Structure 1
């Protein structure tokens, strides 16, 4: 889908700014009084074409209330990754706040909350801390300076004589005042043009393990998620969607659905990707679901392609062998023919569903000239513009309230805004039918698994030549699959010469290998999207199993072989790998009988994660027992969050290896429906995961996704040592290896 209605110039103007000017604003006090401070840090924005910062009002990032509570407005979606704690930590550090008084609040859609690197409000690319590190610290530092200035004015003393600690300004002769008591006066102070941020040696919160602000609410069941929210008088809607993407409803029994107690209305509606379905409006989810079942809908799929996974896989295999494709990286492969040793491999990867624990949901309240939305979205700016475009509104007429979400892994950040767009379409149809009031669309687990926007299916073909000493002298590589970015607003910056950058990210690096890399992009009637760690979900597996295979052919230790190919250039990779090796006991500790080591290292989103794993094979089934991670994410902000993210990513990476972890289609219809036939890793499959962080004071990099990519290849490499079989596809299948 082309985003022709998105005003890219407007996006650029609103986001574009240079680091030379940081825009701050001082807005009016909240209803309870206090200091309200907002801030935009423009940054290296790829959309930007303006040189000056733009100040936005009346949005704000920080509120200090008279009761001394400090509320931080979090400009990201919190869906389990911990930004509701880590971003407030950054402000608390420079503010010298009392941690017990810190609060978090999710930001609505708004210009001031746009990601400084992308120019849109987004939670993705493991960038929340990486791109908020300076931004949020400077908010805290400026607020602290204004509080000190207010106290100095009241006490008639030089500000340099004052200090701050745990939410208090301290002065000579025992003078002290709480931030809450100074907040109103601080509002009247000028915002400092510059501030000096703390040296890492002075950090009190950053780098220290901090318990999550939202832990009690979530563990006690008090936290409200998007799926829990329902305004007064709202109707619940479930949608009968066509089983083939883009198909249309041919006939349905609306009377039978309306006969179900609690069903209020049944309407044929437009849906994402040109499809047409049926919306069932009811007083609750259960009657809406029963009403949908009573529809007995029939579908017309004559105008759309019907993907068949078996046929598609064979087509991909043939394309991987065929010449041509778009060249991503050129290298001389003439030495392949005369190489002393050759590796030829074909890798296969299926479609993957995101399958978050909280299925998709959205509430829309549409009025004549305004639209209010409640949703756990990763993509506020794009969703706001999609909604406005569908309604013929200006973006400022659409209010998006960001709700807590129970997972997402990319599924809540769709350039086409399918799930939110469908809810807006339904609200529009509801109004057109002469009705009013909010509507809440809820997806079932089956809707979620079969609803599309999957990690694409891919086939890789590699031909590698090694010399007599085991060094790689030629590497010819082709990737076949759909582009995630084609047809989206990201296409201009992410698709170059026909190559989607996400398709090949992670290929080659950090190894000095002469790789000739090409891509054969295909178009399929299956909607695709990024999935936790995006291209690295498949490229890391290919790279790290092939490098391991080359090390075996060279009769060299796989750790030493990797480090030799890295050279001294990739110090962070070496540090992460060395840490994982040291903490695991690799090379020094004897494993129990029937177990073997596996190693892999990969960089994604600026962070390097290395795994050393222990695995066995029991009755033909691979079993992962232990995974030791070495993580180089530069300055750690909250080590507890880092540990949790790597543990979760490791489990999700393990899930990719389990039989049944695949989305397949037959005659255009997704065959999987729920966790009974779409496998995700469960508690009993979780290995012991140990997370060790390389010390660093450099600005932090991402952590939400990088723990996933190297897990599966490390596991596969261990399985090879046990069985002698190289696993060439996910999920694992020893029978066909």
Structure 2
């Protein structure tokens, strides 16, 4: 397969200037990821998004890959180097990985900014990274062939060497000279049958550093002369400080200063503990502003009312209202899911130094370009004068990809008040939980009309919840005709054969700041749709697995039935569950991947225990099967935490949860036995980081219904009592 490679000279020079001597390659290619291309306006002009990935080969043969994606546990520091090195033919034992600096040459090939999210890292880099490796290999081979005065076609690269008969030259011996060659206009990528790395379970490159403690997360950053700061923030969204008394705070040993900054009152100290104790001693009178009376209960009532009114139509296929009237049987149900915090294990933090003509940032961020631009505005410098050092992330789930750059902007403001001093702004767990930017609160009303065969002839779904794109740069191409595409994804594109389908949307405003959360809109539609399908199956008196098979029979994408049947076979669906146990099934497509999950549950004294989850996933080529399984397992446990416990509620404008005692995560002792089975595929890779989350709540809820006969339509299943 011959592929053209378009190389940006400007990007090459910018990359080379940053990385110094050796073999440095920068690439420019058009967008390729189908899902994100489709999200752009149909009439938008064709665009090219220039991500540049780099290879650096040292004289000793060490091959360093600069990764343009953030590593937050999903394994890109291994998977992306695997793509490059598959084609490069580097010696994997000599491969190292480093975070790429913040520069437009590292932009996402579809979004055009440097960022990590949307389960797109491997999918969007599939050809890009392999091309990089292939071009580098070609240049190395050509260099060796020229030295030997033989045709390049008679040479080959293997395990860090270029070979010709009995002769061989190490990559390290060739790199500097190869870097001066003109890159080839086209390269040939490997046939998948020849893959040596791709498709093989490969240990993480960054794993040993994480285990030893050598790996640097944002919270680990230490810069000479740095200060530590915490911010006293308004307890109500939209509030502000009226006045404060800092005398007691400044008397705390280690506290160095107290200053008003945008967003609240900052306490600066020589260590985090002193800053936190100083904040405790700080006396602030707050102006709660117009949102002091906001409550979840009132919002719920408003959302429920809207759910019974027509919204803006997202999709209308056939005549769903008319078909509903003539159906043999009708169903009507209301579902609700709450605000959810991201609850990253590493609370938010960001270290910043602001000088007169430069800003330096150390942070675990998913949004380098956006954070860089926003920091520049605050500091009054150009974006290229803002340097970002991307550290490892102790969890992201979207929180560290904030379009408003709320947490990094705050840190820049805090550091700006102490010019020339590096300052780490730290969030406590309570700050993090109460700081907003949640997964939205959603209410859905569903109505279905069943035909004589029990299958739906009409399906109507009204969705109520905040838009996460309103007011962001993504609004221009992902909100059309009043429809936020992320609000209805997973509901407006059902895989099931329903002749008459209507989905409409209400996007009310709220003072509570919201953004994407792991699996975005699929986090609520996966639960709602698959739970209601289960309701239809039971109303029709048809086994839930067989019901889905019938609904999928006419679907042109065979992946759904493959996943459904694989999960059912591995879970032993044909056998009844053990006594006292219930079994439920759910299947959902998100980020171009299909995941089916079957959950087994028990219940005693109102306590739900999920004992086993069997998952089948079709994600195209599994570049690193270990990473695929780990991410599906992670998505299941993360979604299970939300399904069982997760909720953010507000009363009198204040968030009622604060720490893991009232916003719990599933502990090891509660975690089910999880089996992940990967459907073999040679298709290009699709998303993996998020698709494991959407089906789990429905699978558990459906299992509970099978066990108890009680249908759970509001999450969480086991809300924590508020003290």
Q: Same fold (TM over 0.5)?
A: yes
Does the residue aligned with 1:94 lie in a helix, a strand or coil?
helix
Worse-superposed segment, 559-568 or 95-104: 559-568
Distance change in 2, residues 1:341/1:30 (3 Å): closer
Does the residue aligned with 1:522 lie in a helix, a strand or coil?
coil
Equivalent in the alignment of 2:655: 670
User: Does the alignment pair 1:598 with 2:584?
Assistant: yes
Residue 102 (structure 1) shift: 0.8
Does the residue aligned with 1:177 lie in a helix, a strand or coil?
strand
Equivalent in the alignment of 2:100: 107
Could you list the per-position Cα deviations for residues 1-54 of structure 1 after superposition, in whole angstroms to 9, with x for gaps in the alignment? xxxxxxxxxxxxxxxxx9884547376598884211122223156499776868
User: Does the alignment pair 1:614 with 2:600?
Assistant: yes
TM-score (norm 2): 0.94
How is 1:224-623 mapped onto 2 (pairs within 5 angstroms)? 224-271=216-263, 277-304=264-291, 306-321=293-308, 323-331=309-317, 332=319, 333-431=321-419, 436-507=420-491, 508-513=493-498, 514-566=500-552, 567-587=554-574, 589-623=575-609
Does the residue aligned with 2:72 lie in a helix, a strand or coil?
coil
- Mapped to 2, the partners of 1:398 and 1:187 lie a distance apart of 28
Of residues 123, 126, 129, the one that matches 1:136 is: 129
Asked if 1 retains the 8 angstrom alpha-carbon contact of 2:5 and 2:185, the reply is no
Could you list the per-position Cα deviations for residues 318-361 of structure 1 after superposition, in whole angstroms to 9, with x for gaps in the alignment? 1111x232111124211323322111101111100001000011
How is 1:149-298 mapped onto 2 (pairs within 5 angstroms)? 149-172=142-165, 174-271=166-263, 277-298=264-285
Equivalent in the alignment of 2:65: 72
Residue 91 (structure 1) shift: 0.7
Residue 688 (structure 1) shift: 0.7
TM-score (norm 1): 0.92
Q: Could you say what the CA RMSD is over the residues aligned between the two structures, in angstroms?
A: 2.0
Asked if 2 retains the 8 angstrom alpha-carbon contact of 1:234 and 1:439, the reply is yes
Asked if 1 retains the 8 angstrom alpha-carbon contact of 2:244 and 2:285, the reply is yes
Asked if 1 retains the 8 angstrom alpha-carbon contact of 2:337 and 2:442, the reply is yes
Equivalent in the alignment of 2:31: 43
Does the residue aligned with 1:462 lie in a helix, a strand or coil?
strand
Worse-superposed segment, 481-490 or 591-600: 591-600
Residue 385 (structure 1) shift: 1.1
User: Does the alignment pair 1:638 with 2:624?
Assistant: yes
User: Does the alignment pair 1:706 with 2:699?
Assistant: no
Asked if 2 retains the 8 angstrom alpha-carbon contact of 1:470 and 1:551, the reply is yes
- Mapped to 2, the partners of 1:734 and 1:21 lie a distance apart of 54
Could you list the per-position Cα deviations for residues 155-189 of structure 1 after superposition, in whole angstroms to 9, with x for gaps in the alignment? 111111111111011112x1111101111111122
- Mapped to 1, the partners of 2:382 and 2:599 lie a distance apart of 53
Residue 454 (structure 1) shift: 0.3
- Mapped to 2, the partners of 1:653 and 1:92 lie a distance apart of 34
- Mapped to 2, the partners of 1:417 and 1:19 lie a distance apart of 37
How is 1:1-40 mapped onto 2 (pairs within 5 angstroms)? 21-23=6-8, 25=12, 28=16, 33-40=21-28
- Mapped to 1, the partners of 2:719 and 2:404 lie a distance apart of 38
Asked if 2 retains the 8 angstrom alpha-carbon contact of 1:248 and 1:300, the reply is yes
Residue 429 (structure 1) shift: 2.4
Of residues 661, 664, 667, the one that matches 1:679 is: 664
- Mapped to 2, the partners of 1:469 and 1:585 lie a distance apart of 26
Equivalent in the alignment of 1:729: 714
Residue 225 (structure 1) shift: 0.6
- Mapped to 1, the partners of 2:108 and 2:647 lie a distance apart of 33
Distance change in 2, residues 1:558/1:155 (3 Å): same
Distance change in 2, residues 1:206/1:31 (3 Å): closer
Could you list the per-position Cα deviations for residues 93-120 of structure 1 after superposition, in whole angstroms to 9, with x for gaps in the alignment? 0001111111111112111100001111
Distance change in 2, residues 1:716/1:55 (3 Å): closer
- Mapped to 1, the partners of 2:329 and 2:523 lie a distance apart of 28
Asked if 1 retains the 8 angstrom alpha-carbon contact of 2:7 and 2:26, the reply is no
- Mapped to 2, the partners of 1:52 and 1:603 lie a distance apart of 27
- Mapped to 2, the partners of 1:578 and 1:341 lie a distance apart of 28
- Mapped to 2, the partners of 1:388 and 1:576 lie a distance apart of 47
Residue 301 (structure 1) shift: 1.2
Residue 193 (structure 1) shift: 0.7
- Mapped to 1, the partners of 2:47 and 2:160 lie a distance apart of 34
- Mapped to 2, the partners of 1:486 and 1:423 lie a distance apart of 24
Residue 590 (structure 1) shift: 4.0
- Mapped to 2, the partners of 1:206 and 1:642 lie a distance apart of 12
Q: Which consecutive residues of structure 2, in runs of 5 or more, have no partner in the other structure?
A: none
- Mapped to 1, the partners of 2:474 and 2:5 lie a distance apart of 26
- Mapped to 2, the partners of 1:146 and 1:51 lie a distance apart of 31
Asked if 1 retains the 8 angstrom alpha-carbon contact of 2:5 and 2:29, the reply is no
Asked if 2 retains the 8 angstrom alpha-carbon contact of 1:19 and 1:41, the reply is no
Asked if 1 retains the 8 angstrom alpha-carbon contact of 2:4 and 2:186, the reply is no
- Mapped to 1, the partners of 2:595 and 2:323 lie a distance apart of 32
Worse-superposed segment, 84-93 or 458-467: 458-467
Aligned length: 703
- Mapped to 2, the partners of 1:697 and 1:449 lie a distance apart of 42
Does the residue aligned with 1:297 lie in a helix, a strand or coil?
strand
User: Does the alignment pair 1:116 with 2:109?
Assistant: yes
Equivalent in the alignment of 2:610: 624
Asked if 2 retains the 8 angstrom alpha-carbon contact of 1:479 and 1:519, the reply is yes
Residue 199 (structure 1) shift: 0.6
Residue 303 (structure 1) shift: 3.9
Does the residue aligned with 1:486 lie in a helix, a strand or coil?
coil
- Mapped to 2, the partners of 1:191 and 1:200 lie a distance apart of 24
- Mapped to 1, the partners of 2:604 and 2:401 lie a distance apart of 39
